[in-house]
Chains A and B, each alone.
Chain A
């Protein structure tokens, strides 16, 4: 336990510039806190039985605090955190390194980053985010990265009841931090804005940020609504796609859900962003075989209930698809919309579309052969029989030559000309 708590507080990220002394929200964290159940700031029954609490004692200056692990009268661990944005050398449990603690969001959240090398050989970096998720509690998401893998763990805390056996320095802080602490926590529990979110996301380990976002959601803080514009701003700021994925998933709880990837409750595994879609999403969006309408996943199955073939996707990992198929109760090939319900839905799916129906009936009528040939030199000459209606042409009384416009004169179409000949128009 001591090692775990100690590891959460190791820090240092050389890339982060010194922010200078900052005023923070230590008063909001002041007091003693019992571990809460995962996903909740309610007290953990198991933790309460041990009597272990974490107590945060603001220091003499605004940027300093001492974090104690207390069990009754015993102080099991004592660490000082200097949240001034500067790098500090640390030497804990046989490991040496540096750490840097920075307030963000005007003092609402604390980011602690560290790097250490232990005498026994292993080295790595640590990241912790302290966040007041409600006036009644806070969450610390801590991640340890060694090599390419990161393990991130959220831990919820709720206010602990007072214990007369606690050390005097602890009892003094608890006694002095009643209403003032509540007010400080209300003030510090505001959601991060876009700027703060981008800053945290681009300067903090991705796995830790994802776990932090999920932890906030599990504590009922879904944060800002995501829309296309905010997503573009975050991406432009350099926020990783895995983090925007988490934000999108959290903003659409009806479409995505998070699933714990280990048997440890509340643990979000590295890379374990939204991983099980309810209706659509991550798994098939990342499955190339589902992206192509020509893939095997676009094969269809037959639904006797609805009289048609529908995509196999309706039973598999992919949602609805458009597809060609043969509709047995139609009259030919169809292009229709077929949509299915994945994951055990009692519905086989439904589909629709229109069908290219062959002509099935016609009304026979006598046909007059009006075939004609137009010769560039000889003009129009009839080829068929019975086309001569006896009419001839005469020159038009009023020539329309050169008008260049069509008329809407009703024509006799293919009926007899009525014995006419053509007459030249004057």
Chain B
């Protein structure tokens, strides 16, 4: 119950903490107008955006046919933070933590309670990918001039490949109908959570705002599937894949 909330909170705290820390750091003088005193040793990016869920496995189909749900109900706001270490003009090692969670209220499409009230429940999908990989800048992020100056490029596109694990939780709680027991309505709670192997590919663009700040936008497709827990029997592995579009600020650390 608590685990996904903890992770989401942790992701948000990481993002906020990194943002505050890097902003404070960015306020100190470590460069001149239009340049830094050397190449950044790391870049921290804090992103927000929209994460669509592919929701192609049968558990989603089952739920959307039985309840007043659609695939769009599993899309969510996404928060993410990247920690990237440049390893040359074009290559960067990137570690990413994202979090997206959506809870959708629903009721049975075709059934109602004998008391006339809807048979309501809520479904929550949480996805927290923790990824590591490489980002390849098609144009260098900046240019080292001498040993004391690094001038950022005005813009730089990139592609990236990452792999890792995704913490996920698919949870349903509320009222359900036991059709094998006289259509009785009961309060129920089902969940499936755990870590799923994940692969991700992304493309994006960084636009320089100042020597230590850039605007980064990216589109990323994440692929992940994982068997459901014993709460869900006879279903395919849950499809956790989806496309996300996020934008945020990159703080260059020097």
Which of these, B108, B183, B187, contacts A387 with CB under 8 Å? B187
Q: Mark A405-426, 1 if CB is under 8 A from B, else 0.
A: 1111111111111111111110
Q: Looking across the interface, which residue of chain B has its beta carbon closest to that of A285? A: B38
A3 at the A/B interface (Cβ < 8 Å)?
no
Q: In whole angstroms, what is the CA distance A416 to B73 when docked? A: 26
- Complex contacts, A424 vs chain B, CB 8 Å: 110-111
In the complex, are the beta carbons of B149 and A421 less than 8 A apart?
Answer: no
A282 at the A/B interface (Cβ < 8 Å)?
yes
- Complex contacts, B183 vs chain A, CB 8 Å: 392-394, 421-423
B145 at the A/B interface (Cβ < 8 Å)?
yes
Which of these, B118, B145, B148, B186, contacts A285 with CB under 8 Å? B148
In the complex, are the beta carbons of B179 and A376 less than 8 A apart?
Answer: no
Task: Quote the shortest CB–CB distance from A243 to chain B (angstroms).
Answer: 8
Task: Quote the shortest CB–CB distance from B43 to chain A (angstroms).
Answer: 12
In the complex, are the beta carbons of B148 and A245 less than 8 A apart?
Answer: yes
Q: B151, B172, B186, B235 — which one has the most chain A CB atoms within 10 A of its CB?
A: B186
Q: Looking across the interface, which residue of chain A has its beta carbon closest to that of B179? A: A379
9-residue interface stretch from A86-94, A178-186, A395-403: A395-403
Q: In whole angstroms, what is the CA distance A408 to B34 when docked? A: 51
In the complex, are the beta carbons of A353 and B187 less than 8 A apart?
Answer: no
In the complex, are the beta carbons of A411 and B105 less than 8 A apart?
Answer: yes
CB-CB contacts below 8 Å: B5-34 with A: 10, 13, 17, 21, 24-25, 28-30, 32-34
9-residue interface stretch from A169-177, A192-200, A250-258: A250-258
Which of these, B25, B111, B179, B190, contacts A394 with CB under 8 Å? B111
- Complex contacts, B112 vs chain A, CB 8 Å: 393-397, 422-423, 425
Chain B: residues with Cβ within 8 Å of the partner, total of: 76
Q: Looking across the interface, which residue of chain B has its beta carbon closest to that of A226? A: B32
- Complex contacts, A388 vs chain B, CB 8 Å: 184, 186
Which of these, B110, B148, B152, contacts A395 with CB under 8 Å? B110
Q: In whole angstroms, what is the CA distance A381 to B188 when docked? A: 8
9-residue interface stretch from A22-30, A46-54, A106-114, A227-235: A227-235
Task: Quote the shortest CB–CB distance from A64 to chain B (angstroms).
Answer: 38
A45 at the A/B interface (Cβ < 8 Å)?
no
Which of these, B107, B117, B145, B147, contacts A231 with CB under 8 Å? B145
- Complex contacts, B13 vs chain A, CB 8 Å: 354
**Known contacts A393-B183, A395-B111; A409 and B178 CB within 8 A of each other:** no
In the complex, are the beta carbons of A354 and B17 less than 8 A apart?
Answer: yes
Task: Quote the shortest CB–CB distance from A282 to chain B (angstroms).
Answer: 7
Task: Quote the shortest CB–CB distance from A349 to chain B (angstroms).
Answer: 14
B70 at the A/B interface (Cβ < 8 Å)?
yes
- Complex contacts, A403 vs chain B, CB 8 Å: 68, 109
A74 at the A/B interface (Cβ < 8 Å)?
no
Task: Quote the shortest CB–CB distance from B64 to chain A (angstroms).
Answer: 7
Q: Looking across the interface, which residue of chain B has its beta carbon closest to that of A356? A: B10
- Complex contacts, B178 vs chain A, CB 8 Å: 379-382
Q: In whole angstroms, what is the CA distance A172 to B173 when docked? A: 106
CB-CB contacts below 8 Å: A319-352 with B: 320, 322, 335-337, 339, 352
**Known contacts A232-B143, A376-B235; A227 and B34 CB within 8 A of each other:** yes
- Complex contacts, A382 vs chain B, CB 8 Å: 176, 178, 186, 188
Q: Mark B74-101, 1 if CB is under 8 A from A, else 0.
A: 0000000000000000000000000000
- Complex contacts, B25 vs chain A, CB 8 Å: 320, 337, 339
Which of these, B107, B152, B172, contacts A409 with CB under 8 Å? B107
In the complex, are the beta carbons of A372 and B68 less than 8 A apart?
Answer: no
Q: In whole angstroms, what is the CA distance A371 to B105 when docked? A: 19
Task: Quote the shortest CB–CB distance from B102 to chain A (angstroms).
Answer: 10
**Known contacts A248-B32, A280-B30, A423-B183; A414 and B174 CB within 8 A of each other:** yes
In the complex, are the beta carbons of A336 and B21 less than 8 A apart?
Answer: yes
A375 at the A/B interface (Cβ < 8 Å)?
yes
**Known contacts A244-B145, A285-B147; A393 and B104 CB within 8 A of each other:** no
**Known contacts A227-B32, A395-B112, A422-B108; A417 and B62 CB within 8 A of each other:** no
With A248-B149, A372-B186 already in contact, 17 other A-B pairs whose C-beta atoms are closer than 8 Å: A234-B145, A241-B147, A245-B149, A352-B21, A370-B173, A377-B234, A392-B113, A394-B183, A401-B110, A406-B104, A412-B175, A415-B187, A416-B187, A417-B175, A419-B114, A421-B183, A421-B184
Residues of chain B having any CB pair with chain A under 8 Å: 10, 13, 17, 21, 24-25, 28-30, 32-35, 37-38, 41-42, 58, 62, 64, 68-70, 73, 104-115, 117-122, 143, 145-149, 151-152, 172-180, 182-190, 211, 230-235, 253
9 examples of A-B residue contacts, CB within 8 angstroms: A244-B148, A322-B21, A336-B21, A378-B179, A379-B177, A379-B180, A389-B187, A406-B69, A414-B187
